[in-house]
Amino acid sequence: MSMLEIKGLSVHYGMIHAVKDLSMQVNAGEIVALIGANGAGKSTLLKTISGLLPKTSGSITTLEQDITHSSPVKIVGLGVIHVPEGRRVFSGLSVLENLQMGAYSKKDKSAIKESLAEVFAHFPILQERLSQDAATLSGGEQQMLAIGRALMAKPKLLLLDEPSMGLAPILVKEIFSIITSIHESGTTVLLVEQNARMALSIADRGYVMETGRLVLQGTGKELAESAQVQKVYLGG
Amino acid sequence: MTQFLQQIVNGLSIGSIYALIALGYTMVYGIIKLINFAHGDIYMVGAFVGFICISTFKMSVLSAILCAMVFCALLGVAVERLAYKPLRNPTKAGLFATALVMGFILIYLVAKATLELDNLWAGVIALVLSLALGFFVYFTITPKGNPNRIAALITAIGVSFFLEYAMMAIMGPNNRSYPATLGGTATLAGVQITFAQILIFIITLALMLILTFIVQKTKIGRAMRAVSTDADAAALMGVNVDRTISITFAIGSSLAGAAGVLVGIYYNTLNPLMGMTYGLKAFIAAVFGGIGIIPGAMLGGFAIGITETMVAGYWSSLFKDAIVYIILIVILILKPSGLLGKNVREKV
Ligand SMILES: Nc1ncnc2c1ncn2[C@@H]1O[C@H](COP(=O)(O)OP(=O)(O)OP(=O)(O)O)[C@@H](O)[C@H]1O
Ligand SMILES: [Mg+2]
């Protein structure tokens, strides 16, 4: 079954054509990597999926539901959860309050408690920082909070925008292993990354995006071995 | 000493009113970064609603306050929906409609007041000019994703004029007096406290406690704080951002409504332009405490109230406004973000 299906999608910022006639698919249970240079339109694509940006044309469906013209509230309600680029944790709110914001669309108190326990299992550090202002966390901790906050919404499809950005190599490894374990516990993942090597190594499939278009696709292994990807994204 | 305490009591009374109005300025600024110039006029409308409740419908003071709060909450939401929201998510049709409706009402009222025309002619002139304005806006302004702060500010000033002229049209431009509802004075260690002052303290304190509880402890309060730090990220959590903004307007406006009735009871007099003076003072109070910061507005309101009464009591009431401005300027030089403001250091 397809978790996400995009057909002929175009997105404009005024005159700038940021996503051009793009079609892609993410199957339930997959982890799919989307790689591409700065300004390729990766973040634009994710913001469009989650309903933050209007579409010029094309359609988006998740689990057979058309979400092309849906509001972010509705899309979150369907289980499509977006961890935006640059973490965007709520400063002025404590770590706990940030996590509670993640469960904003949820009503069941005991289910929220369970999700909280799951988040602490993935990110024990957050439990030690519960009452701390999120703005005072380190970059790595903020990234963990951003992912943890998304998990509070019980995502069916998790959209991750450059989770490794600006992190030390050891933290990058940790974040990627957490993404793998989130995926293994049953969440479908669409992973946008600059770190092509890491992303392709954990992905089932991947797409390469250049100036608003998809130019290559294949399994993670195929892409990692393709000459074009090696030359442009893997520095070899 | 007695005089000093007396000034403190008087200062806290008027400061309570400034603080209640300042809260609305600060909450709206916090969530959409708009200085809502119409907020002082919402407070004025609250004073009139209370006046009508007490003098015409013979309601008790408490139910009049409640009525004014509900009325102002609805009015605040209506202003936000009709005037500010179209600028936030602008579409050409929305801008046209806003310019047409706002323009018509405003030009109609101004034409009637200044040119002494009858209804028909004022209406015709207003219709022609507002249509022209609507088309001008339609063809010159291209809506972008990015809302224009200046456009929003000018709209707010327009709404402010609109509320003032509308109230003049309905109630006439003259001063009105509240019927004396709360006579009586208590004397405590030589300091006189009127029952009206006691009422002001109790109501203000209660409203501030309720507000603090809502903002700090409830789900909607958390959403309000989240939207004010990052509206897009809040939307990604499933927060209905527009609805949260409306609720913020409703709460801020209801506090202004309560303040309106309280000032009517305290000073017994009201007129359609009262929103300007009090609104400005309350705005200064909000900036003084750090605009966008709720405890800052409370502190700022009390500080300005006490400063005013002290200057008036020990020196001359001629200087009280000047001193308030001087203090504001000094604060802004020493600490531009206000008394409780954090010096903003953006994390990259
Ligand atoms: N708000 C905006 N207004 C106008 N143009 C924008 C806006 N946001 C992005 N763009 C443009 O759209 C294009 C795609 O940007 P986008 O942020 O989606 O790229 P990206 O692939 O995520 O890049 P990066 O890897 O640097 O995050 C760029 O040319 C960018 O300049
Ligand atoms: Mg990006």
Q: pLDDT tens digits for A97-148?
A: 999 999 999 999 999 999 999 999 999 999 999 999 999 999 999 999 999 9
- Looking at the structure, give the CATH architecture of the domain made up of residues B2-89+146-334: Orthogonal Bundle (1.10)
- Alpha-carbon distance B241 to B284, whole Å? 28
Q: Residue B313: which pLDDT band, with cuts at 50, 70 and 90?
A: confident
Residue B340 has pLDDT above 90, yes or no: no
Tell me the pairing of strands A57-62 and A2-13.
antiparallel
Q: What was the pLDDT predicted at B28?
A: 93
Name the pLDDT band for B346 (thresholds 50, 70, 90).
very low
Q: Which is more confidently placed, A28 or B86?
A: A28
pLDDT for residue A236: 56
Option in B145, B219, B236 nearest A72 (CB): B236
Q: Is the pLDDT of residue B184 over 90?
A: no
Q: How far apart are CA B47 and CA B251, in angstroms?
A: 16
pLDDT above 90 for B129: no
**What pLDDT score does B345 carry?**
46
Task: State the maximum Cα–Cα separation within chain A, in Å, rounded to a whole number.
Answer: 51
* pLDDT surpasses 80 at B113: no
- Tell me whether residues A76 and B238 touch, CB distance under 8 A: yes
Please list, in sequence order, all residues whose beta carbon lies within 8 angstroms of the beta carbon of residue B93, skipping any fewer than 6 positions away. Answer: none
Atom 26 in ligand 1: which residue has the minimum CA distance?
A38
Contact A11, A56 (CB under 8 A): yes
| Alpha-carbon separation of residue A167 from A140, A170, A175, B265 (angstroms) | 6, 8, 9, 60
CB contact, 8 Å: A136 with chain B? no
Instruction: Indicate the range of A208-222, B134-148, B174-188, B324-338 predicted with least confidence.
Output: B134-148
Of A14, A51, A90, the CB nearest to B233: A90
Residue B142 has pLDDT above 70, yes or no: no
Q: Is the CB of A110 under 6 A from ligand 1?
A: no
Mean per-residue pLDDT of chain A = 93
Q: Which of B87-91, B164-168, B186-190, B342-346 has the lowest mean pLDDT?
A: B342-346
B176 touches A: beta carbon within 8 Å: no
Identify any residues that bridge with A190 across adjacent strands, giving them in sequence order: A32, A159
| A210 close to ligand 1 (CB < 6 Angstrom) | no
> Is pLDDT at B343 greater than 80 in this prediction?
no
Partner A contacted by B337 (CB < 8 A): no
pLDDT at B146: 56
Q: Closest Cα to atom 25, ligand 1: which residue?
A: A38
- Higher-confidence position of B255 and B98: B255
Query: From ligand 2's centre to the CA of B243, what distance in Å?
Result: 28
Asked if pLDDT for residue A80 goes beyond 80, the answer is yes
Provide the pLDDT confidence category of residue B90 given band limits of 50, 70 and 90.
Answer: low
The CA A43 to ligand 2 mean position distance, Å, reads 4
Closest-CA residue, ligand 1 atom 14, reads: A41
Nearest Cα neighbor of B124 from B113, B111, B115 is B111
Is some CB atom of chain B closer than 8 A to the CB atom of A159? no
B345 contacts chain A (CB < 8 A): no
**Cβ(A72)–Cβ(A52) below 8 Å:** yes
Q: Residue A56: which pLDDT band, with cuts at 50, 70 and 90?
A: very high
* pLDDT average, residue stretch B306-326: 87
**Partner B, chain A 32-51, Cβ-Cβ below 8 Å:** 50-51
Report the alpha-carbon distance of residue B23 to residue B279 in Å, rounded.
11
pLDDT exceeds cutoff 80 at B143: no
Tell me which of A104-108, B124-128, B220-224 is least confident.
B124-128
The ligand 1 atom nearest the CA atom of A42: 21
CA distances for A121 relative to A116, A127, A151, B52, B230, angstroms: 9, 9, 12, 60, 27
In this predicted structure, the answer to whether residue B302 has a pLDDT above a threshold of 50 is yes
pLDDT in the model for residue B144: 57
Which residues of chain B does A71 touch, with a Cβ-Cβ cutoff of 8 Å?
Answer: 240
Top CATH class of A2-84+155-233 equals alpha beta
Mean pLDDT of A16-32: 95
Q: Is A41 in the pocket of ligand 1 (CB under 6 A)?
A: yes
Which of A47, A95, A104, A105 should be substituted to probe chain B, the one whose Cβ sees the most B Cβ atoms within 10 Å? A104
Order of strands across the sheet that contains A80-83:
A80-83, A157-161, A188-193, A31-36, A205-210, A213-219
Is residue A149 helix, strand or coil?
A: helix
Q: Is the pLDDT of residue B41 over 80?
A: yes
* Any ligand 1 atom below 6 A from CB of A29: no
According to DSSP, the residues that pair with A12 across neighbouring strands are A17
Shortest distance between the Cα of A105 and any Cα of chain B, in A, equals 6
| Pairwise CB contact (< 8 Å): A73 & B236 | no
Is the per-residue pLDDT at A70 higher than 80? yes
Q: Of all residues in chain B, what percent carry a pLDDT higher than 70?
A: 95
Question: For ligand 1, atom 2, which residue shows the shortest CA distance?
Answer: A13
Say which range, B102-106, B140-144, B287-291, B324-328, has the weakest mean pLDDT.
B140-144
Question: Distance between terminal CA atoms of chain B?
Answer: 53
Is A166's C-beta closer than 6 angstroms to any atom of ligand 1? no
Question: pLDDT tens-digit profile of A156-211?
Answer: 999 999 999 989 999 999 999 999 999 999 999 999 998 898 999 999 999 999 99
Identify the band that residue B284 occupies on the pLDDT scale cut at 50, 70 and 90: very high
The overall average pLDDT reported for chain B is 87
Provide the residue ranges of all domains of chain A, joining segments of one domain with +. Answer: 2-84+155-233
Residue of B nearest to A149 (CA): B237
Record the pTM: 0.89
Between CA B83 and CA A76 the distance in angstroms is 29
What pLDDT was estimated at residue B190? Answer: 83
Confidence of residue A227 (pLDDT cuts 50, 70, 90): confident
**B residues 239-298 closer than 8 Å to A (CB):** 239-240
Place of tokens 């409830």: B218
Percent of chain B with pLDDT over 90: 47
Q: Supply the DSSP string of B107-121, one letter for each residue.
A: HHHHHHHHH---HHH
Q: Residue B348 has what pLDDT?
A: 38
Least confident of B147-156, B224-233, B283-292, B321-330: B147-156
Q: What is the number of the ligand 1 atom nearest to the C-alpha of B146?
A: 1
What distance in Å separates residue A230's CA from the closest CA in chain B?
A: 30
Contact across the interface for B226 and A101, Cβ inside 8 Å:
yes
Select the highest-mean-pLDDT range: B54-63, B91-100, B147-156.
Answer: B54-63
Give CA–CA dist B106/B101, Å, rounded. 9
- Of residues A127 and B117, the one with the higher pLDDT is A127
Domain ranges of chain B: 2-89+146-334
Q: Answer whether B120's CB lies under 8 Å from B175's CB.
A: no
- CA torsion sign for B296, B297, B298, B299 is positive
**Mutate which of A76, A80, A90, A93 to disrupt the B interface (most B C-beta within 10 Å)?**
A90
Inspect the interface and report whether the beta carbons of A73 and B239 lie closer than 8 Å. Answer: yes
If one counts every other C-beta atom within 10 angstroms of the C-beta of residue B49, the result is: 23
CB contact under 8 A, B226 and A93: yes
Determine the Cα–Cα distance for residues A89 and A132; give it in Å rounded to an integer.
Answer: 12
